[in-house]
Amino acid sequence: MALVPRASARLARQFVHILLICGLLSCISAFAGAPVLTSIEVAATTPPTFQWYRGNTHTHTTNSDGDSSPLDVASHYKNLGYNFLVISDHNRLTEVDDLNAALGVPGQFLVMKGEEVTDYYNGSPVHINSLNNQTVVLPQHGSDVVSTIENNSAAIRQAGGLPYIAHPNFRFAVSADDFRNVAGTALFEIYNAHPVVNNDGDATHLSVEATWDAALSSGKLRYGIAADDEHTLTNVSGALPGRAWVMVRASSLDPDSITDAMQRGDFYASTGVMLQDYQVGASGISITVDNNLSGPTTIDFIGKNGRLLQRNSTSTAAYTFTGDEMYVRAKVVNTSGQAVWTQPVFTARLNASNAILNAASFGNEPQINKTVAPHSIAVASGLGLARATLQAERNSDGSFPTTLGGTTVTVSGRAAAIYYVSTTRVNFHVPDETEPGPAEVVITNADGVQMRSQIIVENVAPGIFTEDGSGRGAAVKFETTRLLPQLFFPNDGLRRFFIYATGVRAAAQVTVLVNGQPATIEAVRGCYRLPGLYQINLALPAHVIVTSGMTLVLKADGKDSNATVLQF
């Protein structure tokens, strides 16, 4: 039975506008405690038994072009208080078993295998360091700089090692474009202490740090290493030990644990500043500098394109993510010019728990496993999902756009119509053709950052829209007898109203319970101006005593919606 003449249709169109602007704008307070799903997972996933280990990953001996024996070099680093040392002679795998037998101390000092795979392209040096490779890796060459890096990185991994780009500005062999386009490794030297490697760039070449920001700003994850590139123990004008290192947070002091931690970015790079504490959480980053070792410092938080986000001239600082930064990294500098670089955290991400939900119930349906239905409205929650708050306008053909503010959504590879975006929320239409079962939702923001989540799709997934958009409390409802002239309805003593729901298109049986008693359903209508939205017209029998605060539940094919409240 159709109960929506022209006057009511106009009100329904107004309601859709209210729904998009007001009903779906509530904050995602539950997200604040979720674990980080980004480039590093430090605070949320690091067990308390993990420890910091100081190490140098770029070291030469007389087995290549260093001036001292492996034993002398390793002894020197041990005396400097290092926990581990990677000997990386050029195209040579220096054995470390005898060194560990002589100098190694479990949990305190370790010498690791490594190699500087020393290759060239068009006469320019393209050097790839390897950590923990078990066999020597010969230069693989390539047809350009990127393929040279890729070929050598692949060979290093085949030999069991972890590759990283050494001194990218040495003779400016690796351009910013090369650095951005590399896929075989995310690791590189943000600082190399050799005196001739051009860390700071020149009038025509970017500094290594600016090159890092350019790559990060293009959406490419990169982790920065600081290393001595030690060649001498005595020449004060040469590459001496103790000038640059990494602090790695690992489960134990062994080669696999060290390389695993560096692979996942669980370390920071230093040229003299030491941190007392460094934590990454779901909402931000906190840093405490060890002033006893570092002296007064400035702590900068840096985002997209190298933009300074926040500066602190204190030993402790915290930065709260907004989602607009694209990424956040920290740089700490003391009055002597010594520095720390922390690894970037990409702030755009989906809520780690129930990232995709029914946009009406918002996860408040009683089922433990949250689902959505084809031809329903869903909501994605997270951070950095869009650059601005935008409500979609219909296309000239009546459809809704699949791109809004540069943000797109796909469900099982199909483009989804988008109704609303903000930095923390995206409301979208689950495509009609979506098959029941597991589905992957991919949200891509305007920076090209992709965020993925799995969701279960079922034929029916009912939800009732509420006034505050939380899926709890008062249901959005209109009393028809108050909105329309009385002549449209017979004087039969029934109290008529309608609610709005989603996820019910395929339902064979729909029931609405008011205080546990079934209401009369007079129509279930799809709102053609907003696909996925359904208007359910209800009438309460005369014997039902109408009071404010009555419970309202929608059942579709036996599945309960969120429990809401009927306010009159």
* pLDDT surpasses 80 at 412: yes
Share of the chain above pLDDT 90, in %: 76
The residue among 485 and 399 whose pLDDT is bigger is 399
User: What is the C-alpha separation between 130 and 184, in angstroms, rounded?
Assistant: 13
* pLDDT surpasses 90 at 71: yes
Mean pLDDT, range 52-78, rounded to an integer: 98
pLDDT confidence band for 562 (50 / 70 / 90): very high
pLDDT at 39: 34
pLDDT at 282: 82
pLDDT at 542: 66
Mean pLDDT lowest among 10-19, 222-231, 422-431: 10-19
- What domains lie within the chain, and their CATH numbers? 18-35+350-458 (2.60.40.10), 51-271 (3.20.20.140), 274-346 (2.60.40), 464-566 (2.60.40)
What are the pLDDT digits (tens) for 453-508? 999 999 999 999 999 999 999 999 887 766 554 444 455 667 788 999 999 999 99
Residues 348-386 as b/e (b if ≥16 CB within 10 A, e otherwise) read bbbbbebbbbbbbbbbbbeeeebbbbbbbbbbbbbbbbb
What are the pLDDT digits (tens) for 96-114? 999 999 999 999 999 999 9
**Residue 280, CA atoms < 13 Å, CB-side half-sphere:** 26
* Spatial CB neighbours of 126, under 8 Å, sequence gap ≥ 6: 119, 120, 142, 145, 148, 149, 152, 173, 174
The residue among 493 and 329 whose pLDDT is bigger is 329
What are the pLDDT digits (tens) for 265-274? 999 999 999 9
User: What is the C-alpha separation between 177 and 339, in angstroms, rounded?
Assistant: 26
pLDDT at 12: 36
User: What is the C-alpha separation between 226 and 179, in angstroms, rounded?
Assistant: 17
Provide the total of helices (H) and of strands (E) in the chain, helices listed first: 9, 40
Mean pLDDT lowest among 48-52, 230-234, 468-472: 48-52
Mean pLDDT lowest among 15-19, 480-484, 497-501, 515-519: 15-19
21: left (phi over 0), alpha (psi -120 to 50) or beta: alpha
pLDDT at 492: 62
**What is the rounded average pLDDT for all residues in the chain?**
88
What are the pLDDT digits (tens) for 148-194? 999 999 999 999 999 999 999 999 999 999 999 999 999 999 999 99
* pLDDT surpasses 50 at 47: no
pLDDT at 497: 87
pLDDT at 210: 98
* pLDDT surpasses 50 at 44: no
Provide the whole-model pTM.
0.74
What are the pLDDT digits (tens) for 126-147? 999 999 999 999 999 999 999 9
* pLDDT surpasses 70 at 21: no
pLDDT confidence band for 509 (50 / 70 / 90): very high
* pLDDT surpasses 90 at 4: no
DSSP readout, 419-448?
EEE-SSEEEEEPPTTPPSEEEEEEEE-TT-
The residue among 95 and 542 whose pLDDT is bigger is 95
- What type of residue sits at position 398? G
Helix boundaries (H) for 442-556: 480-483
